[in-house]
Amino acid sequence: MGGFLTGKYSKATPPPAGSRFEYNSRLWERVNKESNFAILGQIEKVAENLGIPLSKLAIAWILQNPVVTAPIGGISSLKQVVDNCRLTEINIDEETTIN
């Protein structure tokens, strides 16, 4: 979702300067919906319960999803590669739910 799952976007404020949503208002219109922010709030609670940042939960979920055959991560440093590889150690079991 174009970085939406990082938690850096807010319904109450415009997209940050330099973000893809600032440059693509049609994309922002598709994402900037009350229902998306409601779901994001629930996912943030799951990340908090697991003790990891929201962005890491999103990547960990992709890595554990059997439907995804090749996750593609946008990275800008070697540290991000190493951090993302460590996300395979996070266990999101079937009982981890959004309430």
- For the stretch 55-65, pLDDT in tens is 888 888 888 88
CA–CA separation, 84 and 5 (whole Å): 15
CA–CA separation, 92 and 90 (whole Å): 6
Confidence class for position 21, pLDDT limits 50, 70, 90: confident
Distance between first and last Cα of the chain: 21
What DSSP line would sit under 28-61, residue for residue?
HHHH--HHHHHHHHHHHHHHHHHTS-HHHHHHHH
Non-local CB neighbours of 61 within 8 Å, separated by 6+ positions:
92
Instruction: Report, as an integer, the average pLDDT of 36-62.
Output: 89
Confidence class for position 90, pLDDT limits 50, 70, 90: confident
